[in-house]
């Protein structure tokens, strides 16, 4: 016999209308809304009048830029962190990267995670033939007099702390600039640094079909 009492409760309880956003996190901002103790760092709340209970899905570190998803629905964080969801980054690295280094990245490299050795999962990686069209960074990259640089694309399905930077360092090429351009089927498109865009239908945008 169906539980009519429970059904009536569910019908009488309004569903919360959650809000979702994508932003281009600028260089020098923390991926959070609450300031750290004794540290005066720029926060996401300075970019837009976000609703209460907003949270970042994952993080980009202080020096990294690009696509960051925000939501008032904590369940969305589990969706995005799932290994079926790709995260693509453009990284500017110090020096002319070699095909051997690219192959190592593709196959997985050893990095340190919380003081423990970790082998990254196989990923997609390739050299970008041309410098990508991105907004100017808040702080200049070192000058060309210090030698050449390369731009590469790396797509991973995991998200360890500072993983991309550790991966490129592991193959001998330090990351000078890091920009996340895609999460699932959500792209940075032509957004400018600090821009905020509302995602009307999060699941359709993420394309989990």
Q: What are the two backbone dihedrals, phi and then psi, of residue 100, each rounded to the nearest 5 degrees?
A: -60, -45
According to DSSP, the β-strands at 196-198 and 87-94 are: unpaired
C-beta of residue 160 within 8 angstroms of C-beta of residue 59: no
* Set 3, 61, 94, 203: catalytic member: 61
Distance CA 28, CA 43 (A): 9
Is 61 part of the annotated catalytic residue set?
yes
C-beta of residue 153 within 8 angstroms of C-beta of residue 128: yes
Q: What are the two backbone dihedrals, phi and then psi, of residue 173, each rounded to the nearest 5 degrees?
A: -135, 105
Which are the catalytic amino acids?
Answer: 61
């Amino acid at each position: 016999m169906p539980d009519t009492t429970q059904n009536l409760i569910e019908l009488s309880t309004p569903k919360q209308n959650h809000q979702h956003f994508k932003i281009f996190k600028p260089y020098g901002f923390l991926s959070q809304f609450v300031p750290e103790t004794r540290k005066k760092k720029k926060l996401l709340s300075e970019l837009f009048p976000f609703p209460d209970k907003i949270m970042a899905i994952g993080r980009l570190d202080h020096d990294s830029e690009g696509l960051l998803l925000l939501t008032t629905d904590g369940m969305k964080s589990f969706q995005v962190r799932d290994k079926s969801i790709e995260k693509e980054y453009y990284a500017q690295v110090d020096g002319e990267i070699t095909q051997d280094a690219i192959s190592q990245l593709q196959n997985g490299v050893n990095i340190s995670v919380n003081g423990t050795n970790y082998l990254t999962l196989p990923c997609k990686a390739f050299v970008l033939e041309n410098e990508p069209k991105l907004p100017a960074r808040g702080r200049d990259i070192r000058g060309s007099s210090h030698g050449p640089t390369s731009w590469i694309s790396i797509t991973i399905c995991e998200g360890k702390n500072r993983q991309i930077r550790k991966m490129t360092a592991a193959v001998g090429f330090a990351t000078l600039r890091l920009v996340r351009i895609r999460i699932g089927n959500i792209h940075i498109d032509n957004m400018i640094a600090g821009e905020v865009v509302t995602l009307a239908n999060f699941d359709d945008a993420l394309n989990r079909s």
